[in-house]
Structures are given as C-alpha cells and as structure tokens.
Structure 1
C-alpha cells in the first residue's frame, strides 16, 4: 500500500517505482541479447559481479507473466538484481504475445531462450549444466511446458533432461475449462487442445521442480493448478518443493523478490536456495 501511494505521488506504476529504487551497482547488465530471428527473441542478462565459481554460476531463464497478452522483460530489473546478488545469472526473456500469436506459437520462443542459455551460458559466466527455467503466472505456464513437454526443446536440438530444474510461481497448469474470457481466444476456446495443459506432460524424466503459490490468489487457483501438478510430479518420483506463502497475492508473490517487499514472503530465499542446491544436469546434448 505504501509503494502504491508513493507510485501515485510519483506518477508511475509500482513496478516502475520498485525498479527505480533498485540498486544499479550490484550486477552487470547486458541488454537485448538475441537468441533468434524475431524481435521478441531477446533476453536481458543480469550477471553477478566478481569472478564466477568453478564451472560457472547457475543460470535462470525467466519468462514474464501477463496473460500471454501484456508484459515484457524490461519490467524485471528488481528480479535480476535479487538473483544476481545471490550468485545467479538471470536471463529475462521476451516472447510473442496474443493477438500476434496464439497457443502454441509462443512456446517455441521460450524454448529458444532456454536453448540459448544451454548453449551459451559460459559467455555470461554461467554453468551450462545448471540451467533452470522460471516463470510467473502465464510465464510459469510457458516455463512448465518447456520443462515438461519435450516437444519444444527437441525443436531446438535439446532435451528436458538437460535442465537442472524449473521454478513456477503462481502458474496455471491445469485450467480447462478456461473461465477467463480474455484468455479464451489465446487457447482456441472452446476447442482448447488437451495437450496444452502442463499436467498432461508429467513424466519420470521431468526435472526437479519448485512450485510457489500465494495462499490467496484470485487469478490462478493454487490448489487446482500447482497442487494438482505437484501431486502428479511426486507420483512419478520427481523431486518437488511446494511452498505456500501468506501475506502475498498473485502479483506481490513476484514483487517479494524486490528489496522493498522482501519481508512480505521469503520467496527469494527459497528460490535462491533451490537454484543453488540443484546438482548439475546429468545429460549434455547439443552445442556448448
């Protein structure tokens, strides 16, 4: 509420205010790194300062939310700073949005970003065998599909077993029938393809998983989405960390990564610990 009040006084959105007061001297930023032929095929890379550890820093490819219709990688300086300060390279990625594309055309964009990290992590001080994909809301859906449905990484010459893990925050993973009218056309309602749902792609090869949800989320039901997905993953023997957070909602769950909102929920601590403790992926395919 205090941030919202300050934002109104400053004439800007809360996320702009958070980014404006995020330090600039705790990371090295390389903007607009291309990973494909399209304008949306770009990442902003937030690199920790100092010398990388042996093998390189862990790398997280982050996919933004916005109902597959809005948002952009430029809004996540606060997240890049937060993870870089914990010794993690963040690649904040773009992807094509509706109405330019519908399902599944935005998924190859996210897969290309992950393939870039797998192939070029070393250029940014990262470890190509400790690459994870992470997303919030609609971005968590994209992250889940790239991590669980091997069609998308296979198109890029890679495999889901090359991922050290993945992180989903407040994501929709099991949402047929689609109730949000603004989202229905994105997934061809009423003919929503059953294979569009991440829960349909769980297997014993699925990478280790971190699922974070807000106890109160008016946009994405945490039980029918993250809860269902966690149960299916566990039934296949996949390691799952499932965290529920009080005191935050759908948006402030990701906002809690920022310095002003750290105290709302320990989501940064939990995600950073998950990323840092993941072992290297056992399979190395494709160029390095």
Structure 2
C-alpha cells in the first residue's frame, strides 16, 4: 500500500510540475523534488548586467576547491522567450553539479519588455561573466558547455553557432546541447514567436539553422517524439544542416516523451525513464576532456 501511495505522490508532483511550468515557472516542482546530494549552490543572484533580470546562480560539487578547474555547464531555461526563472531550476543545476560540473543558471530579459536580440545578448553577457569570473569558483573558463531547453536551446544555439555573439569567447564553448529547441521556425505563427521576434527587420538572423558552418562546436540535439510544443522535426532539420556542414552532431529522440518531461527528467524522481541527464553528462565529459 505504501508503495502505491508513493507512486501516486510522484505522479501528482510530476503533474503539478507540468502545470506550474506551463503557467510560467517550475517553482513548485523544484521545491517538491529532492535535490542531488553532493552538490550545493555557491552563488545566488550574481549580477552580470544592470537590469533586474541579468542575474545568475552557481552550483558546484560540495566542498569544491577554488582551483579545481572543472568543466562548466551554462544552463539556459525555457519559457517561450516570455516566461521562466532560474529559481525554478535548482534541481537541474544540482543534478549537473553532482555529476562533476560547475553549473551556471542565468536569467535573461523577457518579451514583451524586450525583443530579439536582447535575450540573446543577455546570454552572451552571462557567458562573458563566466569567462572572467568562474575560475575563482572552481570552474575552467576554457571548457564551457552550453545547455538550453526550448527557448533556452534557441539562445544556446545562436551563441554557439553565430560568431557575432561571443567573438573570441566562442572558442571556449567546447560543445552545446539543445533540449527540445526551435531552430527553424519561420514564419512567425504563434503569439510567443511574434512577441519575441515580430519587431526584427531581418528574420533570417533569428534562425539558428542559418548559421551552421564547419567551425561550429559539437552539438547534442535531444527531443521527445511526442513534443507538440516544439515539433521533433526542428532538431531533425538542424541535425541535417550541421552534418552537411561537417559539424560533429548527435541526435537523440526519446520515444513517448513530450516537451516538458525531457527537462523535468533531470530531477532525481523522474530521470529513470528518460536518459537526458546521462546523455548530456556523457557528451559534456567527452567534448570537455582535456588533451
């Protein structure tokens, strides 16, 4: 009987997490799920700009020394460029850190307060902060892996693929991971895309697929087969374009998984049925391996 009660509780929490996420934030889900042991938050609301949303949190393995020089994951949250907050992603930050990465989770400004390219420039500013300061907190500024979910995957893709955003710092991006990301979504046919990109004169500059080139860092593209928010073909198209350009890319589709579950599977209670955390860890370790 206790076993069935626990199963029902887990399913309820997953359902609540999905509801809260769709409403904007993962606060409730994040509060309820247990966090990975061996990890801790070592920085909170650190400014990388002057705006209220230009703040980041840092997670690390427990007891990390300042000279450890571990590879760094920068996780960019989703939310349709108009919602989401780093405060709902402690479970993700600590999951990555428990696997041996210093993990940075930034916020970025949202539409309709701002429009493209401001949220991408915020991502670039956060990465610039990491390059300058993360060594003081045990991270290696020359081994950065960008990870993004949904709209965050779109931002991560542009940072990794469009050399205009990071300049020389792009060389520090060892690889990037897109979880259920939109990369080729013209025309703008949803309220979210029109709100975020409708003021853009040259819409081609908003599409990551247009920037695939031979000098792009390796990519891991993850998607769920049942994603109805961002269709799986988005990752398929970008995979094809990257392969044609000669870029190292891996494409994984999880059968029966939707848009939110691929990301909530980073948590301790729900990761057993989706391998997204293991796949990201394996990729990040490989691309960040020191010579």
Q: Under TM normalisation by the shorter chain, which class is it?
A: 0.7 to 0.9
Q: Aligned residue for 2:32?
A: 20
Map of 1:47 onto structure 2: 60
Q: How far apart are 1:280 and its partner, in Å?
A: 5.8
Contact kept? 1:111, 1:153, Cα under 8 Å: yes
Matched, 1:134 2:141: no
In structure 2, the CA distance between the partners of 1:96 and 1:250, relative to structure 1 (3 Å rule), is same
The reply to whether residue 56 of structure 1 matches residue 65 of structure 2 is: no
The residue number in structure 1 matching 2:267 is 258
Query: 1-side partners of 2:16 and 2:159: how far apart?
Result: 41
**Aligned pair in 2 of structure 1 residues 175, 31: CA closer, same or farther (>3 Å)?**
same
Alignment of 1:77-96 (within 5 A): 77-96=90-109
Evaluate the alpha carbon distance shift between residue 68 and residue 8 of structure 1 in structure 2; reply closer, same or farther with a 3 A threshold: closer
- Whole-angstrom CA distance in 2 between matches of 1:81 and 1:55: 17
Task: Note the C-alpha offset of 1:181.
Answer: 2.7
Match of 1:185 in 2: 195
Correspondence 1:229 to 2:255: no
Hey, what does 1:285 align to over in structure 2?
none
The 1:87/1:179 distance shift into structure 2, 3 A limit, reads same
Q: Give the superposition deviation at 1:189.
A: 6.7
| Residues 64-122 of structure 1 deviation map (CA, whole Å, 9 limit, x = unaligned) | 11111110111101101111110011101100001110111111100011112222221
Separation (CA, whole Å) in 2 of partners of 1:246 and 1:52: 40
- 3-state SS in 1 of match to 2:192: coil
Aligned positions of 1:83-122 closer than 5 A: 83-122=96-135
Partners of 1:254 and 1:245 in 2: CA distance: 12
Structure 1 window deviating more from structure 2 (248-257 vs 34-43): it is 34-43
Equivalent residue, structure 2, for 1:5: 12
- The 1:193–1:55 alpha-carbon spacing in structure 2 relative to 1, beyond 3 Å, is same
Q: How far off is 1:222 after superposition?
A: 1.4
1:246 aligns with 2:255: yes
Residue 53 of structure 1, CA deviation: 10
Q: Distance in 2 between matches of 1:236 and 1:64?
A: 28
Distance in 2 between residues matched to 1:181 and 1:28, nearest whole Å: 37
What is the rounded CA distance, in whole Å, between the counterparts of 1:57 and 1:114 in structure 2?
Answer: 16
Consecutive unaligned residues of structure 1, counting only runs of 5 or more, are 283-288
C-alpha distance in structure 2 between counterparts of 1:173 and 1:48, whole Å: 32
Are positions 1:270 and 2:283 aligned together?
A: no
Q: Give how far 1:55 is off.
A: 5.8
Q: Within 2, Cα distance between the matches of 1:104 and 1:199?
A: 16
Task: Please state whether the residue corresponding to 2:242 is helix, strand or coil.
Answer: helix
**RMSD between aligned residues:** 2.5
Q: How many residues align?
A: 277
C-alpha distance 238-24 of structure 1, shift in aligned 2 (>3 A): closer
Change (3 A) 1:281 1:97: farther
- 8 Å CA contact 1:145, 1:198 repeated in 2: yes
State how 1:194-213 maps to structure 2 within 5 Å.
194-213=204-223
In structure 2, distance between residues paired with 1:204 and 1:281: 22
Structure 1's 280 and 129: CA in aligned 2 closer, same or farther, altered over 3 A?
A: farther
* TM-score (normalised: structure 1): 0.88
